[in-house]
Amino acid sequence: MRRSVRAIFLISAFALLAACGQGELTDAEKATVATLSLSALQPLPPDPTNRYADDPLAAAFGATLFFEQRLSRDGSVACSTCHLIDSQFQDDKPRSVGLSMTNRRSMPLADVARSPFLFWDGRRDSLWAQAITPMEDAREHGGTRTFYAHFIAGTFKDRYENIFGPMPDLVGLPASAGPLGDEAEKAAWEAMPAEKQAEIDRVFANLGKAIAAFERSITHEPTRFDRFAEAIKAGKEPEGDALLTDQEIYGLRLFIGRASCINCHNGPRFTDDQFHNTGVSPVAELPPDRGRITAVAQVLADPFNCMGQFSDSPDSCRELTFMNREGEELIRAYKTPSLRGAATRPPYMHAGQIATLEDVVAHYTAAPASPEGHSEVQPLKLSDKERAALVAFLKTLAE
């Protein structure tokens, strides 16, 4: 009799543990879930470095520029070439292709205006400084600063001047010249008077500020997870399209608990906006990519950074002033991407090294050593069932 009672007790206990592992959230877990809901996202902060950031005319002009293929050397590449509307303003390529293939994949643009540093390595410190960087890259748009100034003057002069004031006098300036062009274009730029260079730089910066004003309007859409989280916050039982399956809830509990995903993928955007070495392998045919450790010097040297003469508020540069500038932790460290919509955006990592979400979970489970520097990831003891649950939960961030 005692054995029967004990057996019944053990069976009941295991059933309770199973339920807690999959279907029931504790009060602490519910509080954490509330911090991940889109409704917890604070209003978009202003960008003091861009006085046109919230100007509707600038945003409309920026939208035109974003889709304008003529803003490239051969008229074939626009910002939208690598940031497709129907792919959450990203593309589906392991590495993006402009005029030629680049070394990294594009990043989605939803709520990108909230990021203190841009690109996978953070080599730019504002959205407008980021927007103009691909325009001079030979593999992306491939243009030069005077090329863009002449194009704007000949095509969009009225719209530009309605927002930014008079265009500079371009008479006598080279058709294509800039500090990052080919040798002839660089020489032509160097031959220009410094005051003319500054005028063209101002036009170039303004193009970035208009594009950034448009990109500030790109936001995340609520998902099934958000509807679930809202019901939990309200103390209601989720129902309808707010329901998560037991497997998805199990994955959620792992995500915010034992798997420690939330350490880096936290907040309503599921990112800490920081840089981490997670032991991702390099791409064999590419030159060495050291991530954040290289980008620190680049963002400090950028003439369009927060402290530069084209910033509208050089005194508001706390992120740039106090950023971590050295240390082993910066070696092969890359920005934490948002996981919102990630299930629909394979492949993964900064150069598309990992093909599927299942492979991503396997990578973090195994925690391989980094090829350089020190990986922050520790091995996880996750069963096949637990890995599948994590993947199932991640899919709720894209539905």
Map out the domains of the chain as residue ranges: 22-44+221-291+331-398, 56-215
Is 52's pLDDT higher than 60?
A: yes
At 276, phi and psi to the nearest 5? -140, 145
Type of residue numbered 295 = A
The pLDDT of residue 252 is above 70:
yes
CA-wise closest residue to 390 among 360, 350, 349, 348 = 360
Residue 182 pLDDT greater than 90, yes or no: yes
* Per-residue pLDDT band at 302 (split at 50, 70, 90): very high
| Alpha carbon distance 399, 392 (integer Å) | 11
Cα gap 55→36, rounded to integer Å: 30
Task: Fill in the DSSP letter of residue 275.
Answer: E
Q: Do domains 22-44+221-291+331-398 and 56-215 have the same CATH topology?
A: yes
At residue 2, does pLDDT exceed 90? no
Structure tokens at 51: 């006085």
Lookup: tokens for 385 = 């069932």
Residue 5: pLDDT above 80?
no
Work out the mean pLDDT of the chain and round it to a whole number.
93
Q: How far apart are CA 173 and CA 189, in angstroms?
A: 9
Locate tokens 């922050």: which residue? 376
Mean pLDDT of 178-189: 98
Cβ neighbours around 207 below 10 Å, total: 25
What pLDDT is attached to residue 14?
A: 37
Separation between Cα atoms, residue 103 and residue 94, nearest integer Å: 9
Q: Spelled out in words, what is the top-level CATH class assigned to the domain 56-215?
A: mainly alpha
24 confidence band (pLDDT: 50, 70, 90): confident
- The yes/no answer on whether domain 22-44+221-291+331-398 falls in CATH 1.10.760.10 is yes
